Structure 1
Amino acid sequence: MHFDKLNIGETVDSAATYYVSEQEIIEFAKQWDPQPFHISKKAAQKHQIGKLFASSVHTIAIATKLAHSNSYFEIDAVAGLGIDQLKMLKPVFAGETLSLKIELTDKRLSASNPGKGVITKKLYISNQHGELKMTFLNVSLVNVNNEI
């Protein structure tokens, strides 16, 4: 796929899914987001959500992994430019299997970097029941003269 052939509005589903285990939620949180409701079932039961759930940072990491499971939006990336409009809609619980849909929402040539473009993709993370858990925009600087 070449930059010029990317069409705004195109969507693709991840080629893989991701099972989230209780052990992984706890281990990830212990290292990266050690809040009691992410690392202890007992503490989570006292929290308003009522049970152990994944950190939002963990969910973003899973979405990133799933995004790379499909070669459609594989790009000749130069750099990530940002994550925008992050919406944490529902918590991710142990035992859920997550999937991802990606939508190309914008593309443009870079005004300051000749031969480069900026693409914006919206990522939709859902569980096995189709419940939307998180959405965000991922903005990347890419080479436009190479196959992507």
Structure 2
Amino acid sequence: MQYYEDIEIGDVREFGEYNVTAEEIVEFAEQYDPQPFHTDADAAEDSAFGELVASGWHTASMCMRMLVDGPIDERASMGARGVDELRWKRPVKPGDTLSVRTEIVDKRISESDPRRGYVDSRVEGYNQDGDIVVSFVALAMIERRDPDQ
């Protein structure tokens, strides 16, 4: 288990492989972001994208899944305070394969609760061509091994 004290600013990790399907794009969009270019391949042809594309929220969710299966599962996670700077850089299409890169950009001990530390990570989701499709700063809370130090 990795605790706050084990994490260093500048740490970089690359991980994950998530295969995107048209069926999943449509299913997510029908429930959470029902715009035609996410739900209907024919209608999407007449959109600015020219084809069916994943919702940005879906893209962020796919990256979140890889985060949970990767570093979050290995850390003494206490949840998150949110995200900053969320940007959808490129559309995600059926057949894309996504992966994630994280870099620790800041860390500090909580002033209100010394049992936890705040760890901020720049997260970038990539497609199979190495293009960044989404980026954000994740604001995690990580348990401290020894809050008395």
Fold in common (TM above 0.5): yes
Q: Could you tell me the percent identity over the aligned residues?
A: 32
Measure, in 2, the Cα distance between the counterparts of 1:5 and 1:79.
Answer: 17
Q: Residues 122-143 of structure 1, C-alpha deviation per residue, up to 9 Å, x if partnerless?
A: 1110111101111001102221
Amino acid at match of 2:11: E
Q: The residue matched to 1:70 in structure 2 has which SS? A: helix
Structure 1 spans left out of the alignment, 5+ residues: none
Post-superposition offset of 1:70: 2.3
Contact 1:12 1:72 in 2 (8 A): no
- The change in CA–CA distance for 1:10 and 1:73 in structure 2 (over 3 A counts) is farther
Q: The residue matched to 1:112 in structure 2 has which SS? A: coil
Q: Residues 97-126 of structure 1, C-alpha deviation per residue, up to 9 Å, x if partnerless?
A: 001111111110001112211011111101
Root-mean-square deviation (Å): 1.5
Amino acid at match of 2:145: N
Aligned to 1:47: 47
Q: The residue matched to 2:80 in structure 1 has which SS? A: strand
Aligned to 1:61: 61
Aligned to 1:76: 76
Contact 1:67 1:102 in 2 (8 A): no
Post-superposition offset of 1:71: 4.1
The within-5 A match list for 1:1-148 is 1-14=2-15, 16-71=16-71, 74-145=74-145
Contact 2:54 2:92 in 1 (8 A): yes
Measure, in 1, the Cα distance between the counterparts of 2:42 and 2:72.
Answer: 42
Structure 1 segments of 4+ aligned residues over 2 angstroms from their partners? 68-75
Structure 2 spans left out of the alignment, 5+ residues: none
Paired residue total:
145
Contact 2:3 2:143 in 1 (8 A): no
Measure, in 2, the Cα distance between the counterparts of 1:22 and 1:98.
Answer: 14
Contact 2:126 2:133 in 1 (8 A): yes
